[in-house]
Amino acid sequence: MTGRTALVTGASSGIGAETARVIAGEGAAVALLSRNEPALEAVRKEIADAGGRACVAPADLRDPDAVESAVARCVDRFGPVDLLVSNAGYGMRQAFLVDQTEENWQHTLDVNLTGAFRVCRLVVPTMMERASGSIVIVSSVAGRRGIPANTAYCASKFGLRGLAESLALELGPFGVRVNAVLPGLVDTPGLDEGERYGRDFIASLAEHHGLDGLTWERYVRHAVRNTALRRLLSATEVAHLIAYLLSDFSSGITGQSVGIDGGAI
């Protein structure tokens, strides 16, 4: 990836941060985008200390002007975007539809789906002009099958698959590839924050499906047992798949939604 410019959203932690490290290690100059500027700066320093190149481009994906400024900052620093990883995601306060507020429904779709649309729309024109580029959109196993108490999250992640597959058909004649990645449960900081991410979800399941005694920890253990590998995935494993789909090694692959879920059953 030497000589190429990459933009990674949701790059402050988890899959996004690890993907940025991996592709920087392969020679790409990486722009790091998320709301958390101090965390982005920490990732940038890690990349720089390892001999890579990165810059920080903080923005809230719900703010179109901020996203446009962040992408412009990336282009000013490293040149037009060759590789895009649309990874930023929001999954808090998920619940049964009857419990879901319109505010949180909109927040979920605005970050996960509309945020991806905003970033893609900004970088795609120069990819078309140069007849080159690769985009990976991070969806989820929740973009392949429904999950109770996740109506907003699943709707957004199914939408990302549609965005990726449709955009691939639009951009194929211009030599630009677009694929989606669908991770399962990944060992990232958010997975340990059950009170933050799982509280409303578990409460909604308990109320409507009568699952008394269910906890976030028990839910995660059950989900892991229902995979062929019977373990959590690592962010590095997902990052390596993303890097492969960005690279010329996958030059014949576009319009695909590729699962990496440990063999969910």
Q: Which residues are catalytic?
A: 153
Question: Which of 132, 19, 8 minimizes the C-alpha distance to 82?
Answer: 132
Q: What is the DSSP letter of 194?
A: I
When computed from its CA atoms, the radius of gyration of the chain, rounded to whole angstroms, is: 18
Q: What is the DSSP letter of 186?
A: B
Give the integer Cα–Cα distance in Å for 161 and 145: 12
- Partnered with residue 179 across adjacent β-strands are 136
In the block, tokens 């990496």 appear at 260
Q: Are 40 and 14 in contact (CB under 8 A)?
A: no
Question: Which of 134, 135, 148, 120 minimizes the C-alpha distance to 206?
Answer: 148
Convert 17-52 to b/e letters by CB count within 10 Å (16 or more is b): bbbbbbbbeeebbbbbbbbeeebbeebbeebeeeeb
Q: What is the DSSP string of 238-263?
A: HHHHHHHHHSGGGTT--S-EEEESSS
**Beta-carbon contacts of residue 225 (< 8 Å; ≥ 6 apart):** none
Q: How far is CA 176 from the centre of its chain?
A: 19
Neighbouring C-alpha atoms within 13 Å toward the C-beta of 98: 5
